[in-house]
Structure 1
């Protein structure tokens, strides 16, 4: 039976207070030296173990992929252009679409984000509501979010299906920020109330993929200038690990506060011309490794860090090794068909190993094909 839960979110001055994420006693410090000359070679630490060509037909043409999650032997792919959530099996066969665009029951006006819980429920965030489906696309229920109190989240995560973490960001205007002064809110579905609010807003935040699934929770992308990565486990938010870039670390106090164009200009300048390591993003975690990207010396870098040995490797990001999700203990990249024209060039420059090149060059694609997912195994180092 379908049913609708109306959730009225009221934040009183004496009710919901700013919270600091819980601190684990074993929080990890990743000490990174980006100029170290004897680091393991990045390309030698990964190898292609599977290639998933996503089925292409008139009913399933992906336009602009925003987010990919692998759960229950399926790839869930959010497409911005068509505002759709598409499901493929691990061989790339199209299975179904989750929900559809519209204003009726079980439909969404826009697909902002989604999260998948261990009970195989897909939680889709749209304007003013969260819609829940099973992994075959059957509607389960809807949760109406009252917009009266200025809650207008862009991203969603839930680990247990009972507590939702909603990323408000700085999408709202000045009047909204008086009522919603933080970036992240959690609320209890059963109690129909906001539980906590995190990260008081200091400056404009550039939007991105805020949440990524991992084997034991959900990773929260750090805000620009912060090097602490947080994790959602159940109904709690924890600090998971902190990256220390040493002499190349950016002092967050150098960042301008506020919401003017000067904040955006500083953000863009630090990404493109900085002598500092900035903008940690796209954080992924497997049982044994961390992966994330950042900017340094005018380039976007990618890093793999071994939890066991504390060794790490760094390289410039390229279209074939930019990882977007995990599949069990493997990393997965998504390649647009147009990028295959650069395959030989990247191989000649040593950005792709001979073993990987021999597998990738066999892929037959044209410009109208859907993207290809490449699954990489990480060698022990």
Structure 2
């Protein structure tokens, strides 16, 4: 792979849909998708762990939405059941967080949740109902934070400090992100004027939260082309830009067409470009993301020490790498069902104990957690 790392000054990573993006030196990686080489799994990881999430009458998961690993527990949002199921690090079911209803401290819909580092509380997001604050166990209701009146629905969120949230609305006309002061109940600023049809009729948008925190900084992933930004002074600051040359994807070429049109488009025209960056994570050493190209899924691992990205379909050993989230100990993947999760593994490459776990999982079991442990 021909790789060039360029630090550029005064560069504006902006398309017509982006506003309030500050010029700042950023890492630009040139990647040739015609010259990719599969690395070894053991270049990065020491082993695979398979953690089945307990399957019982009380713990059944119908559809996996957002998922978080926090304080040695797995939190899985089941969007169809409108509740969060909590498992310990070994996959044992602990309890659920279910506040579905119409009373005080309850929600009719649940799209996202977040452990607020500034308050220590668990925040639940009901798109039109507000942010509901509970204690860290999600049991005791504390308060409801109303959403701004000019935002019809909020679909993703993250705290910037104890009094300020960054909100993302798929359905808002014009700017999709607003900075909201919950004390003054006032929008401080707004940005990111993405056409609404991109979010409703195409595949070129985030599936889960576009926000994550690394080194105490809020990050935003632009899912159609994978660009990563930090958020400072109410503006997006470019951090990583992946330059695929002729395979760069531009949404300025898209038009407002129904979803049926984009089903075909994604398999034909869209398949010629690198796009749909919907899985990502970062720690002190690596930024890891997944994307689509040529009707296949690819993984990009950017090593922040060597300043080199590697792009591949699968490791030499046959395992694929899809980051649901990343921490200092490893890369985690939680699929929508157990079979899909296990399909990213090459069973023949597993050690004897892990292979026994692999072989023990049934089709109707809960999803499993696949963890690749860093060396």
**TM-score normalised by the chain length of structure 1:** 0.79
Cα distance in 1 for residues equivalent to 2:72 and 2:65: 20
Would the alpha carbon gap of residues 164 and 340 (structure 1) be closer, same or farther in structure 2, given more than 3 Å must change?
Answer: closer
Where does residue 15 of structure 1 map in the other structure? Answer: none
Q: CA deviation at 1:190?
A: 2.1
Match of 2:14? none
Question: 1:105 offset after TM fit, Å?
Answer: 1.5
Instruction: Answer yes or no: is 1:167 the counterpart of 2:164.
Output: no
Kindly indicate whether residue 307 of structure 2 is the aligned counterpart of residue 310 of structure 1: yes
Offset of residue 290 of structure 1:
0.9
Matches of 1:155 and 1:231, distance apart in 2 = 16
Q: Partner of 2:334 in structure 1?
A: 334
- Cα pair 2:65 2:79 within 8 Å, conserved: yes
Distance 1:297 1:123 in 2: 39
Question: Aligned pair in 2 of structure 1 residues 30, 96: CA closer, same or farther (>3 Å)?
Answer: farther
Equivalents in 2 of 1:373, 1:91: separation in Å? Answer: 10
Partner of 1:7: none
1 CA distance for matches of 2:208 and 2:342?
27
How far has the Cα of 1:329 moved from its partner? Answer: 4.0
Structure 2, unaligned runs of 5 or more: 1-17, 200-204
Correspondence for 2:13: none
Corresponding residue for 1:296?
A: 293
- TM-superposed CA distance for 1:84, in Å, is 0.8
Residue matched to 2:85: 86
Cα distance change, pair 163–237 in 1 and its aligned pair in 2 (3 A): farther
Q: Is the Cα–Cα contact under 8 Å of residues 75 and 87 in structure 2 kept in the other structure?
A: yes
Task: Measure, in 1, the Cα distance between the counterparts of 2:159 and 2:264.
Answer: 31
Note if contact 1:160-1:234 (Cα within 8 Å) is conserved in structure 2. no
Query: Which residue among 269, 280, 285 is the counterpart of 2:277?
Result: 280
* Partner Cα distance (1:267, 1:198) in 2: 29
What is the alpha-carbon root mean square deviation over aligned residues? 3.0
Instruction: Tell me if the contact between 2:83 and 2:110 (Cα under 8 Å) persists in the aligned partners.
Output: yes
Contact (CA 8 Å) 2:41, 2:319: kept in 1 or not? Answer: no
Q: With structure 2 as the length reference, what TM-score do the two structures score?
A: 0.80
1:140 corresponds in structure 2 to 142
| Distance apart, 1:85 and its partner CA | 1.5
SS of 1:110's partner is coil
User: Which stretches in structure 1 are left out of the alignment for 5+ residues?
Assistant: 1-17
The structure with the greater share of residues assigned to strand is: 1
Shift, 1:78, TM fit: 0.8
Deviations 1:291-336 (A, max 9, x none): 1111111112122121111333333379963221124341101243
Which of 265, 269, 290 aligns to 1:269? It is 265
